[in-house]
């Protein structure tokens, strides 16, 4: 078999690929920050002594951890505008880009919830009792005593999850969002050079994820399977 590769397409494709990479990194950052924020709220709800609050958060986590991410993307892309229209009576399309951001935040929050909950539970209970005995409120104790220690425990898992999220950003192609891989696909189809563009995209993903995994290992001392 004679496989002829033409890499001359790459220079002209770079501006579009960089634009796609910009979206992928933006989606990663929003997913991390939004997922950690919502995940922290969910983790505290799951640890609540109120059974209704705890059960509600548990149901949320169970639902999102039981479905594939691509299905969640379709849900928010197709279902959310329908729900908004039913409530407001006005058709309000949110667009594929915003759908992707919302889907990733809500989906990843379910996983971060369990990571954060485990981190909180890893802190010895005696520290909570000591903080309360010193006059701190429960909120102050959680904010200043428990969460900072839990964060150090959670950091390897959070950084590893960040690598996985970056890889998962490629799934937004299902709603026609041009992330890095989506941009490579469109250019490859346009110029009939899919093999070259996919090989290049694969090399970029490998380099970035491998470098990130080595960074995590260096900072935490733990092996990462990226």
Residue 22 pLDDT class (50, 70, 90 cuts): very high
- How much is the CA Rg of the chain, to the nearest whole Å? 21
Residues 6+ apart with CB under 8 A from 158: 32, 36, 112, 115
CA distance 172 to 26: 13
Task: Give me the residue spans of the domains in the chain.
Answer: 26-178
Q: Alpha helices, DSSP H only, in 47-79? A: 51-64, 69-74
Q: Which of 67-71, 130-134, 154-158 has the lowest mean pLDDT?
A: 130-134
Exposure of 36 in the CB half-sphere (CA atoms within 13 A): 17
The pTM of this model reads 0.85
Across residues 182-189, what is the average pLDDT?
Answer: 90
How many CB atoms are located within 10 Å of the residue 33 CB?
11
- pLDDT over 50 at 223, yes or no: yes
Which of residues 119 and 144 earns the better pLDDT score? Answer: 119
Residue 156 has pLDDT above 60, yes or no: yes
What is the dotted CATH code of the domain comprising 26-178?
A: 1.10.3720.10
Tell me the C-alpha distance between 137 and 28, whole Å. Answer: 34
Reported as a pLDDT band with limits 50, 70 and 90, residue 220 is low
Share of the chain above pLDDT 90, in %: 45
* Cβ atoms of residues 73 and 103 within 8 Å: yes
pLDDT at position 30: 96
The answer to whether 103 touches 122, Cβ cutoff 8 Å, is: no
């Amino acid at each position: 078999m004679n496989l002829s590769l033409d890499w001359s397409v790459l220079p002209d494709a770079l501006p579009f690929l960089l634009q796609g990479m910009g979206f992928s990194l933006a989606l990663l950052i929003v997913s991390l920050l939004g997922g950690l924020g919502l995940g922290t709220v969910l983790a505290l709800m799951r640890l609540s002594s109120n059974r209704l609050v705890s059960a509600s958060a548990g149901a949320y986590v169970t639902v999102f951890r039981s479905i594939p991410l691509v299905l969640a993307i379709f849900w928010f892309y197709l279902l959310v505008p329908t729900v908004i229209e039913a409530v407001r009576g006005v058709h309000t399309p949110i667009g594929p880009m915003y759908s992707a951001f919302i889907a990733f935040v809500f989906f990843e929050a379910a996983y971060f919830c369990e990571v954060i909950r485990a981190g909180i539970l890893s802190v010895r209970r005696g520290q909570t009792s000591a903080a309360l005995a010193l006059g701190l409120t429960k909120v102050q104790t959680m904010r200043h005593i428990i969460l900072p220690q839990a964060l150090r425990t959670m950091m390897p898992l959070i950084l590893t999850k960040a690598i996985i999220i970056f890889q998962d950003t490629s799934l937004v192609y299902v709603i026609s969002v041009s992330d890095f891989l989506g941009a490579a696909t469109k250019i490859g189809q346009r110029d009939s050079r899919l093999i070259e563009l996919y090989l290049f995209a694969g090399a970029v993903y490998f380099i970035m994820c491998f470098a990130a995994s080595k960074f995590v290992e260096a900072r935490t001392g733990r092996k990462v399977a990226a």
